[in-house]
């Protein structure tokens, strides 16, 4: 069995969670993670970039000088792409960068990203009691106690029932947060450490086993 440490919010080790070794015995499928990362980043692009061609730049309606007899090169418009303030040749135009990945590939990428964190021992659980008032210092002191204050952290919460948790985490510079039913492979790969609320354990096992997540209200 693979053991994952469980801490309380004060940073004290209070227990362990066990996951079957069968989940991590196979090597990470890096190809799936690569294709997912490429598609994810491409899908973030708005694609509104645009440049003007020589037909769209203002001016240049008159031939600047006659065709022959001046000794200078032939030119028909001052908006020629080789002229200053001319149009742009082969410049970017608005386009859609969307790359569609099959649902099974996206699901597989999420599983592989989590397995990667487990294999590298970069995942822990934390017991979080109800926080009455938002206080960043609670989570910052927790990270400092376990030595993660200078690393990129992804906090994963079970649900949004207690919003004070989110309000306490989001002011920490290197920390991000998400919910167990909304996390994606890229944000896991983009973090150094994965810290899950203890209540996420069953859903984490469901993700690793390819089962559906049970959403808690």
Statement to judge: residues 125 and 31 lie in one domain: yes
End of a domain among 27, 61, 96? 96
Domain count, the chain: 2
Domain span at 198? 2-44+101-208
Statement to judge: residues 31 and 132 lie in one domain: yes
Residues 154, 35 contacting (CB under 8 angstroms): no
Instruction: List per-residue pLDDT tens for the chain, 217 residues long.
Output: 889 999 999 999 999 999 888 888 899 999 999 999 999 999 999 999 999 999 999 988 899 999 999 999 999 999 999 999 999 999 999 999 999 999 999 999 999 999 999 999 999 999 988 788 889 999 999 999 999 999 999 999 988 777 888 999 999 999 999 999 999 999 999 999 999 999 999 889 888 887 777 655 5
Q: What is each CA distance from 132 to 40, 80, 127, 162, 209, in whole angstroms?
A: 36, 66, 15, 9, 35
Query: Is 120 within a domain?
Result: yes
Statement to judge: residues 40 and 134 lie in one domain: yes
Query: Is 215 within a domain?
Result: no
């Amino acid at each position: 069995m693979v053991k994952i440490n469980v801490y309380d919010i004060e940073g004290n080790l209070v227990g362990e969670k066990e996951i079957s070794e069968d989940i991590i015995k196979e090597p990470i499928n890096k190809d799936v993670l690569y294709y997912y990362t490429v598609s994810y980043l491409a899908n973030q692009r708005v694609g509104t970039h645009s440049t003007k061609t020589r037909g769209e730049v203002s001016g240049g309606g008159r031939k600047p000088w006659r065709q022959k007899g001046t000794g200078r090169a032939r030119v028909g418009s001052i908006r020629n792409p080789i002229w200053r303030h001319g149009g742009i040749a082969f410049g970017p135009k608005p386009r859609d960068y969307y790359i569609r990945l099959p649902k099974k590939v996206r699901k597989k990428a999420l599983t592989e990203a989590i397995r990667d964190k487990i294999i590298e021992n970069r995942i822990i659980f934390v017991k979080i009691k109800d926080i009455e008032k938002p206080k960043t210092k609670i989570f910052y002191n927790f990270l400092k106690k376990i030595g993660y204050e200078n690393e990129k952290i992804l906090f994963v919460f079970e649900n949004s029932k207690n919003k004070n948790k989110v309000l306490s985490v989001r002011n920490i510079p290197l920390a991000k947060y998400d919910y167990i039913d909304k996390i994606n492979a890229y944000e896991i790969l983009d973090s150094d450490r994965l810290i899950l609320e203890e209540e996420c354990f069953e859903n984490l096992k469901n993700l690793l086993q390819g089962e559906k997540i049970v959403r808690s209200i």
